[in-house]
Amino acid sequence: MERIPGYSGKWLSGRRKDRNAVLRTFERDKDELRSLGVPIETVPAPARFGAEDEAGYRRTTRDLYMPYLRLLAGSAGGDGDVDGTGAGSGSEDGAATRKGRTSETASGPRRWSTGAPRVDHGAVEIHEDEAAAALQGLAHVAALPGFPLAPEARSAFRKLAFDLDPARLVETSVLFLPPPGRGASGPTMEALVDGLIRRKRVAFRYHGIRRAETTDRSLEPYGLFVRFGRWYLAGREVARADVRVFRADRMEDVGVNPREPNTPDFEVPGDFDLAALAGRRPWELDRGEARPVEVRLRFPFPASRLAARNRLGEAVGECADGSQVRSLTVGDTESLVRWVLGLGGDAEIVSPDRLVRELRSSAGKVADLHAPAAGPLRENDLG
């Protein structure tokens, strides 16, 4: 510790309090390096002239640095070697081409050599279509509005771009627009991701839109997903012991449990299925109905073609006029009725009768609300 600037001052004071502070800083620094991708191994190291072992740390060069990415033309299963070097050793002379340069110049002409042995970083072969997918995928991830790991996506892109030429491989034809209104703040998303990755409980103030009240919540975060452009956190609410979903842009004052930072607070249950949760349509949420209800909708032609294409429920019958009846399992019938209304006649509810009446009643309310404004009696109003 006495040899490292930043530690040596306090360490050399000899005071226990100062040395404990240095040790805590050292532990944080070690964790930080690991989080940046620097692998630090804990190994026994001889101390007191070999009389005993104490904890030592090391990192191996091969585990620290990225291997070379060697680009092969075409797709996997084809043949081809873009850079023509044929080298596979992974030494610097075998580097994949970048921006059309040959391997001889890729290392740069101004290398200062003391004759020290070169390091073998290893090499990984990657086909052109795989490289394009990797770079393009990272570019898309970095462009997602509100995505909390966008900086990491960009830095991963830069690392891959050391050996792969993005100008040749990436051609983005996708735009992502942020949702309207205020999105979740950067610190909110960073705290949620931190809690998610380290499996630490998060606490926050939540503005519930249904009851229009703000309450304190504590959650074991199981997953983050994006729907309709907005980020949602799913997890087990500590006070209620059931899995809930919260919208990130309605959270404030998010904190991660600071106790025992290197020890997870919980395990994610093996049967937790984030994909299923995230993929539910609004009427599939468990809200309002004691048990899910089977609802049948009739889609007239040509809307029936879209309903089939978009896999809305299961088809149960097709009519000669091209219309189709489809069955949906619904947890929130109010949401479903409003959705059908919003289709403007592209679907109608066949059963249950209760929902047919609700649809009629709701549509009637809209018609009444939009009745012509009363005004001077006009000739056309008379029978």
Partner 1 sequence: MAERRAKRRRPWAQERTEARFPARRAAEKQAGAAARLERIFYILPRVFQEGGAILSDLAAELDVPKETVAKDLRELIERSYDHLAGLGDDIRITLEGDRVQVFTTGSFRRPVRLSLREAVCLGLGLRLAALSPSLACDERREALRTRLEESLASPSPPGSAPGDLLRRFEAPELEGDPMGAREILLRGATERKVCMLTYLKPGAPEPEERRIRPYTLAHAEGRWYVLAHCEVAGAVRAFRLDRVASVVLQDEAFETPEDFDASMHLGKNRVFHARDVLHARVRYSPVIARWLAERHEGQWDLDGGFLVHHEVADPQWIVRHVLQYAGEAELLEPEELRKQVREAASRIVLSTGA
Q: Which of residues 151-180 bind partner 1 (CB under 8 A)?
A: 152-156, 158-160, 162, 171, 173-180
> Judged by CB under 8 A, which stretch of 10-18, 81-89, 114-122, 284-292 contacts partner 1?
114-122
Q: Which of 53, 253, 286, 294 binds partner 1 (CB under 8 A)?
A: 253
Helix (H), strand (E) at residue 299: strand 293-299
Q: Single out the residue of 18, 81, 120, 130 in contact with partner 1 (rule: CB under 8 A).
A: 130
Compute the distance between CA of residue 279 and CA of residue 231 in angstroms, rounded to an integer: 13
Three-class secondary structure of residue 191 per DSSP: helix
Q: Which of residues 311-330 bind partner 1 (CB under 8 A)?
A: 311
* Shortest separation between residue 99's beta carbon and partner 1, angstroms: 10
Q: Looking at beta carbons only, is 214 or 329 nearer to partner 1?
A: 214
245 Cβ neighbours under 8 A, 6+ residues apart:
232, 233, 234, 277
Residue 342 touches partner 1, criterion: CB under 8 A: yes
Q: In this chain, which of 85, 103, 136, 188 binds partner 1, going by CB under 8 A?
A: 136
Q: Which of 89, 185, 257, 351 binds partner 1 (CB under 8 A)?
A: 257
Among 243, 265, 348, 351, binds partner 1 (CB under 8 A): 348
- Round to whole Å and give the CA distance between 57 and 39: 10
What is the number of other CB atoms lying within 10 angstroms of the CB of residue 136? 18
What is the footprint of partner 1 within residues 90-109 (CB under 8 A)? Answer: 92, 106-109
Can you tell me whether residue 83 is helix, strand or coil? coil
Nearer to partner 1, 45 or 119 (CB): 119
As a whole number of angstroms, the distance between CA 348 and CA 322 comes to: 15
Tracing tokens 């504590």 back to the chain, one arrives at: 218
SS3 254: strand
**Cβ pair 330, 293 in contact under 8 A:** yes
Residues in 57-96 at the binding interface with partner 1, rule: CB under 8 A: 61, 63-68, 75-76, 92
Q: Is 46 in the site for partner 1 (CB under 8 A)?
A: no
